[in-house]
Structure 1
Amino acid sequence: MPLLAEIGPTVTTLQSARAAGVSEPTIFRVFADKTEVLAAYLEEATKQEHTAMELEAIELEAGLEQRVMDLIEVIRLQGERTGAVVNAIQMAAPAKPRDRLALSDEDIRQLNEQRTHSYTIIRSAVCRVPAPDEPRLRKPVSDIAVMILAVDMPLGRSGGRDAGQASITTEQLADLILHGIVN
C-alpha cells in the first residue's frame, strides 16, 4: 500500500510483487489483472482495524491534550493514506459513474452495514482516548468521539496527491476541541 501511495497509478505489478516479497506470476495467480490488484490495495487501505490498533497504542498516562493531539494525528494520517491510495486508483483506472439505482437493495444494505461496522470500530477506539478524563469533560466520551471524527476525518482527506500541509494543524484542532472558540 505505501508503494501505491508513493509511486501513484504508474506502479507496476512487478513493483507490487517485489514489495510483497513474491514473484509477479504469483500476483496473477491471485488477481486476474491490475484492476483487481488496485481493488485489493483499496480494500486494505480502508480497513479500520489498522487505525483502531494505532489508536489503542496511544498512552493513556499522557495528558489529555497530548492524547487528543495523538488521536487527531492518527485519524489524519489514516485519511491521508486512504486518500493517496484512492487518488492513485482513480488516476490509474477512472471510476465509471456509479448508478445507485443499479445497486440491488442487498448491495446497498451490505455497503451500509460495512460502513456502520467500520465507523463503530473507529468510534470505539476514539472513545478510549479521552475516557480517563471523562469526569471532568463537559460531554460524554461517546459524543466527543463523534465530534472529533466529524471534524478530523475530512481534514485527513483534504487535497489531492502532493497537496501539501493540511490547512489546520494538529495543535490548532486539539486546541479547538479542548477549549472551544470562546475566550
Structure 2
Amino acid sequence: MAVKPARAKALSVEDRQAMLIDAVTPLLLEHGQAVTTRQIADCAGIAEGTIFRAFGSKDELIQAAVARHLDPEPFRRQLRAIDPLLPLEDRIRAIVAVMRARFTTLFTLMSALGRHGPPPGHEKGHHVAGEFAGILAGILADDLERFRVPAERVGQIVRMVTLAASVPQIRDGPDFDDAEITALILHGIMGAPVQHHSIATPHHAP
C-alpha cells in the first residue's frame, strides 16, 4: 500500500504575507498600481483568494510592500556587515553597492506607483544622518585620518553622490557602476592630487 506523502505544513499568516510581498515587488516595479491580484497570485503560485486572507485588499498588500522597502533596518544591517578589514577602496565600493541598490529600488518603486516627493514614512532629520555617519565611521575607522573632512561630511558626500548617480531623473545620462561612483568619491574628476616637490637650484659662486 502506497504511503501518502506528508502534507506540507501550512504557512503562518506572517510567512504568507512575507511571501506575497516578495511576489508583488517585481510586479510593482513592472506594472505599478495597475498590477492585478491575478498576476500576483500566478507569480506566487497560490489561489487568488489567498491574497485577501493575508491582506484585506490589493492596496493593503501594496502598502505593506512599500513599508518593507522603506524600513531602514535591513539596509543598516547590510552596511554593518561590511568587513572593516577590507582595503579602503573595497569598503567604499561595498557601501556604494548597498546604497545604490536601496536608492534604485525605492525610487523605481515610488515612480512606478506614481508617488512623488519623499515617500510616506520616509526617515528624515539630523539623527538619521548622524546614525548613518556613525555606521560609516565604524566601517572606515582605520582610515578616517586620511580624509580631509570629518566623518559626518564623509557620510554626506557618499550618500549625496550615490543618490545622484542612482536616480535617472537626477543623473540625466548613462548609468554609473559601483567602481565609477567609488572613484568619484575618493578622487573626484582629476584623480589623486599630484605632489609637487620643489627642486633646489644649484648655487653658483659669483
Residues 164 and 23 (structure 1), Cα distance of their counterparts in 2 relative to 1, 3 Å cut:
farther
Residue 124 of structure 2 aligns with an amino acid whose one-letter code is R
The number of equivalent residue pairs is: 163
Unpaired stretches in structure 1, ≥5 consecutive residues: 99-109
- 1:132-170 alpha-carbon deviations (Å, 9 max, x no partner): 2112222222210111111112322325xxx9962x332
Q: Distance in 1 between matches of 2:102 and 2:40?
A: 21
CA RMSD of aligned residues (A): 3.3
Q: Which region of structure 1 is more displaced relative to structure 2, 25-34 or 35-44?
A: 25-34
Larger Rg: 2
User: Gapped runs of 5+ residues in structure 2?
Assistant: 1-21, 194-206
2:138 paired residue among 128, 133, 144: 128
Select which of 168, 177, 180 maps to 2:185.
177
1:138 alignment partner, SS class = coil
* 1:147 equivalent in alignment to 2:171: no
CA displacement at 1:69 relative to structure 2: 0.9
Aligned equivalents of 1:123 and 1:16: distance in 2? 38
Aligned twin of 1:107: none
Q: How does 1:1-183 map to 2 (within 5 A)?
A: 1=22, 2-4=25-27, 7-9=30-32, 10-14=34-38, 16=40, 24-90=48-114, 114-116=123-125, 119-159=129-169, 166=175, 168-182=176-190, 183=193
- CA spacing shift, 1:63–1:165, aligned 2, 3 Å: same
Q: Percent identity?
A: 25
The Cα shift of 1:84 comes to 2.5
**Is 1:48–1:118's contact at 8 Å kept on the other side of the alignment?**
no
Shift of residue 179, structure 1, vs aligned partner: 1.9
Higher RCO (C-alpha 8 Å, min separation 6): 1
Give TM-score scaled by structure 1 length. 0.69
The whole-number CA distance in structure 2 between the counterparts of 1:120 and 1:15 is: 41
Higher helix share: 1
